[in-house]
Amino acid sequence: MELEKSKYKMVCELGACGRRADYSIRFARTGTKSNLNVCSECLKELARLAEQVNAAPADRTRSDARRKRGERE
């Protein structure tokens, strides 16, 4: 995914926002229909959500490694 400054006067497509889109997120290299236009406020909101994903603990892989270490044969 790539983020670029919106070249055209588009409207933010997130929810019922309706503000002017400052950026467009490009999902694929093909076609213009894979663009999502977002305003800077919604983009900040998305970034906040992304931080929550990053903050989520990755306990599963860690406990797996511990279990492997504990199994001595």
Q: Using CA of residue 11, residue 17, residue 23, residue 25, what is the dihedral sign?
A: negative
Which range in 4-12, 28-36, 52-60, 63-71 contacts Zn ion by CB under 5 A?
4-12
- Please pick, from the candidates 24, 25, 37, 39, the single residue that binds Zn ion as defined by CB under 5 A: 39
Ranges assigned E (strand) in the chain = 2-5, 23-26, 35-38
Nearer to Zn ion, 48 or 69 (CB): 48
Residue 12 interacts with Zn ion (CB under 5 A)?
yes
Amino acid at 22: D
Binding site for Zn ion (CB under 5 A): 12, 14, 17, 19, 39, 42
